[in-house]
Amino acid sequence: MSRRWLQMRVRPRADPDLSPLLVEGLLAVGARAAEERDGWIVTAVEEPADLEEFVEGAKTTLRDLSGSDDFELEVEWRSHEDWAETWKRGLAPRRITERILVRPSWIPAPPDAPPIDIVVDPGMAFGTAEHGTTRGCLRLLDEAVQAGDRVLDVGSGSGILAIAASRLGASSVVAIEADALACEALRENLEHNAVQERVRCVEAMVGPDDLAALGPVDGVVANIESRPLLGLMEGFVRALAPGGWLILSGILDHEWPSVREAAERAGLLMRRVDEDGEWRSGLFTRGR
């Protein structure tokens, strides 16, 4: 029998500030990641045993976490094959910086491709150059990574940022991802880019103490969401060697001031903020 997924779409009816809370609700009911499409927040979850019970539970969770019932929720079945085709649509080579090109495997590199040609097929994992947070992280990585750096990629998804760090000169990268299906895509992408000897996938959900135990490292990149970022801030700082760098992303423009304040309160210095539409990515350094 062909495997299938339940696609979920949710959007606030009036208040756009509900969107981050609705994302949290989707993650709480089993989503691995979510993306915005034409005003909807879209994700997929594994087939539930009882569809009606699952949908009612999802509505309750979304109401509880958002504090509102002013949202729309739609669900539909998608076959694994259909889902695979969906994420392929619209993917194209993207030149992110003078040095970095990102492309899917079925499209060849153009003749004028820059030196760092990253091949990524996301599958069921989050992470393509079509999203502003990923582009922001790539631009900041191009600035931050130095030859020989040891790097942590927290919430690695497709592995695109771990691959970029390695190709930019990092000597070792630990790609941390909690979802087993995302780890499958991640490992395949490491092989596509011939960096599996320098990038190690760790399948785990981590907290501040776990991050600290993986240090000291020269750099950390975390493209997740603002609330998890705030919860892990102490761990990021403890994992960094003196003078190390930290890239934080997955932050909406109205969330940026509170994330920046938390990072600076933790002893980090802001070096640059990357703006891509409504998304913000920040580069920070730890004092020496």
Please tell me whether residues 112 and 58 are part of one structural domain: no
Q: Determine the pLDDT at residue 2.
A: 46
Last residue of one domain, picked from the residues 72, 87, 102:
87
The DSSP output letter for 97 is S
The total of structural domains in the chain comes to 2
122, 57: one domain: no
- Of 66, 87, 108, the position where a domain reaches its end is 87
Same structural domain for residues 118 and 69? no
Q: Please indicate, yes or no, whether residues 53 and 161 belong to a single structural domain of this protein.
A: no
Residues 20 and 134 in one domain: no
Q: What is d(CA 125, CA 156) in angstroms, rounded to the nearest whole number?
A: 9
Give 10-residue mean pLDDT values along the chain (288 residues): 74 88 86 76 84 93 91 83 54 86 85 90 59 92 97 93 97 91 86 94 93 96 92 97 96 93 96 93 93
* Whether 69 and 146 share a structural domain: no
Residue 258 and residue 152 share a domain: yes
Looking only at the bridges linking them, the beta strands covering 279-286 and 268-276 are antiparallel
**Helical residues (DSSP H) of 33-174, grouped into ranges:** 51-66, 80-88, 132-144, 160-167
Predicted pLDDT at 24: 84
Supply the range of the domain harboring residue 128. 90-286
Which tokens go with 221? 């990149």
- Pull the structure tokens for residue 172: 């070792």
Residue 208, amino acid: P
d(CA 134, CA 253): 15
Q: Which of 264, 266, 162 is nearest to 223 (CA)?
A: 162
pLDDT score at 213: 96
Q: H helices then E strands: how many in the chain?
A: 9, 14
The CATH number covering residue 143 comes to: 3.40.50.150
- The tokens 């599996």 sit on which residue? 196
Q: Which of 38, 58, 87 is the last residue of a domain?
A: 87
Q: Which residues contact 56 (CB under 8 A, 6 or more apart)?
A: none
Q: What is the pLDDT of residue 212?
A: 96
With 0-12 / 13-18 / 19 or more C-beta atoms within 10 angstroms meaning exposed / middle / buried, residue 36 is middle
Q: Determine the pLDDT at residue 28.
A: 84
The pLDDT value given to residue 112: 86
| Statement to judge: residues 128 and 73 lie in one domain | no
Question: Is there a single domain that holds both residue 42 and residue 105?
Answer: no
Determine the pLDDT at residue 128: 60
User: In which order are the strands placed within the sheet that holds 100-103?
Assistant: 94-95, 100-103, 116-119
Residue 33: which of 53, 60, 5 has the closest Cα?
Answer: 5
Question: Are 65 and 133 in the same domain?
Answer: no
Angle at 32 between CA 199 and CA 57, to 5 degrees: 160
Do 213 and 139 reside in the same domain of the chain? yes
Query: In sequence order, which residues have a C-beta less than 8 Å from that of residue 269 and are 6 or more positions away?
Result: 284, 285, 286, 287
Cα separation of 70 and 108, whole Å? 45
Whether residue 249 sits in one domain with residue 186: yes
pLDDT at 272: 97
